[in-house]
Amino acid sequence: MTIAILSALPQEQEGLVHAMSDAQGTAHAGRMFWRGRLHGHDVVCALSGIGKVAAATTATALIERFGVRRIAFTGVAGGLGEGVRVGDVVVADEYLQHDLDASPIFPRWEMPGYGRTRLPCDPEMTAALLAAAQACVAEAGEDLRAAHATTAPRAHQGLIASGDQFVGTAGASSALAQGLRAAGHEVLAVEMEGAAVAQACLDYGVPFAAMRTVSDRADDSAHVDFAEFVRVVASRYALRVVDGFLRRLAV
């Protein structure tokens, strides 16, 4: 059963492709897809692209062209939830699209034609991803604290929101979190692609799981040292978590 490892950033994908055996690249739909073997699994690695449409296109290509039957997604996100700090990892159990609003025809955040606001992640894959994330932050915590003077990193599980905008001010972050919370959506992190991949996977009946390394608090400091954080922290997290995830996942 082929599994796709979808990365949001090239720095995350590089280590994964290097770790694969018999890696072969294929250009399709303006993207590069890397096929090979990793920890006993047939794997396809790809970059999602930025934004929901790009990510949905990539997910569809993985399913239609490359025949993947499971998709796992790594990347970075801004922390929204209480206690979610820079350097933490959030494993999604559900997704929603925070910029979806077809009201008054449909309730805000409800997906037209689906009768739901949230998109589920696969329980088995999510459990394996969470266990791998917990092991990763336990092992890598001291390195992260030394490099970035942060508190000890933690792994969280919960709701992640996606939208086609970079949430980069304290005002926007607060308004987003408060609006969703008032409607019963306690969001831990925000990014730009995951919900679209979750929707494509729901349509095709393909199990899906995702993790995000928290790179910022989705506020006015969101742009500070982002490239350095990705290089030093997020890319290493992605490699370690995917490694542990695949070792825990049944072939």
Q: Which of 12, 88, 94, 122 is catalytic?
A: 12
pLDDT at 223 over 70: no
216 in active site: yes
Phi-psi region at 157: left, alpha or beta (left = phi > 0; alpha = psi -120 to 50): beta
Mean pLDDT on 188-213: 97
203 in active site: no
Top-confidence residue, 12 or 33: 33
| Residue 168 tokens, joined | 């980069």
pLDDT at 149 over 50: no
| Residue 49 tokens, joined | 């692209």
The average confidence (pLDDT) of the chain is 91
Q: What is the percent of the chain where pLDDT is above 70? A: 92
CATH of the domain at 16: 3.40.50.1580
E-assigned strand segments in the chain: 3-7, 21-28, 31-38, 41-47, 70-79, 89-97, 119-120, 155-162, 187-191, 208-216
| Three-state DSSP state, 75 | strand
Q: Which of 88, 122, 191, 216 is catalytic?
A: 216
pLDDT in tens, 160-188: 999 999 887 888 888 999 999 999 999 99
pLDDT at 220 over 60: no
Q: Which domain holds residue 80?
A: 3-248
Residue keyed to tokens 């336990």: 138
221: confidence class by pLDDT, cuts 50, 70, 90? low
Contact 86, 216 (CB under 8 A): yes
Mean pLDDT on 60-84: 95
Contact 57, 125 (CB under 8 A): no
- Predicted local confidence at residue 11, as pLDDT: 84
How many separate domains does the chain show? 1
Report the number of secondary-structure helices (H) and strands (E) in the chain: 7, 10
pLDDT in tens, 93-136: 999 999 999 999 999 999 999 999 999 999 999 999 999 999 99
